[in-house]
Structure 1
Amino acid sequence: MDVTTWYLEQTSPDDLRPGRPPLAAADVVRAEIPAPEFSRFLYTAVGGDWQWTNRLPWTWAQWMDWLSRPGTETWVAWVRGTPAGYVELVAQEGGVVEIAGFGLLPYAIGQGLGGHLLTVGAARAWDIAERWPELDETRRVRVHTCSLDGPAALANYQARGFRIYDTRLNVPGDEDEGATPGPWPGAGPRG
């Protein structure tokens, strides 16, 4: 199956266009303590239906190494005490901050939370050096999405002011079109 990947960026904090307020009240809070168990839960709960498989084989130590790097942050949206989604920021050299993970748990889709969470996440990418003094000031915020991700992903990024700077077409291996691992092995796609 052909997969299109879009690479997007903002080059100024003024590029950020806020999303509308979500239908349900949501608090977006930084998970300040690296917790591989929680981050793996978010990764699988959000990405399980969208072919997110790259990190599934990671060990606890690999997750801890990833999460403990300076300039790596996880921001979690909470609705009535329940995680609704997350955005993971990873600072890179030269003032680049990558949104390395972003999305909602299935129950939270369609409630306006995606635009709100992305607004908060992008704003935190722009001010990440305030929390990590050893980092360069942010000059670019980047993200990529592909045609396997949720159908609203690309439109949400563009609505928040991200612009496409590259598009690539690739053909992954022999994956079964439409087959997803779900949030845990054997869960499969949910309707």
Structure 2
Amino acid sequence: MAGNRDIDRIRDSIGHDGPSEKAPTDRKPPKEEFGSSLREKRENEPTADRVYRVALALYEPTRVSDIAERAACSKNGARTHLDRLVELGVLTKASENPDRYERNESYFEWRRRHELAQLSDRERRDRIAALLRRHAEFNELFGADTPDEVDPLALPTDDVEARWLALTKWESVRREVRKLRSISRDVPDEGVV
């Protein structure tokens, strides 16, 4: 189980390529206000792009009116693009009257596997090796074989969010290894994950 000296390592494991990497400290904040530049960029995006961006975050059935509000467009404009995304398989129509839409998780799973399949065998082997090293670092950090074996509330830190994020990242590493292995033709099944 992680001790007091590992608290910083838990925090460091979040948002970086691995638990042992440190965040760059030489970055300076942008000169312009982030919110205003993002708002301008989104306002200038075509409606289809704004609706698509909102659709990516529809993890539960959401009404057209809510989607239109988030995408800063009319309900009819949103509905047109949402129906197109349903036809493409990106979304599913969860209900009618009122129309509600949500992500089609199988589409995103297929898309990720397709992206990984485009890697060369060498790139896949290298990526698996790097992920297995990260898995080993998490394993050592938490003193457990899997994230499921760790009680995040028992870790010696008050930063509950850091605990959950580190365990979630560890599970993501394990999931990525499984995906890469499932599409790899000649990658040995070393380092059980």
TM-score (ref. length: structure 2): 0.22
Structure exhibiting the larger radius of gyration computed from Cα positions: 2
Relative CO higher for 1 or 2, CA cutoff 8 Å, sep ≥ 6?
1
- Structure ranking higher in strand proportion: 1
TM-score (ref. length: structure 1): 0.22
- Structure ranking higher in helix proportion: 2
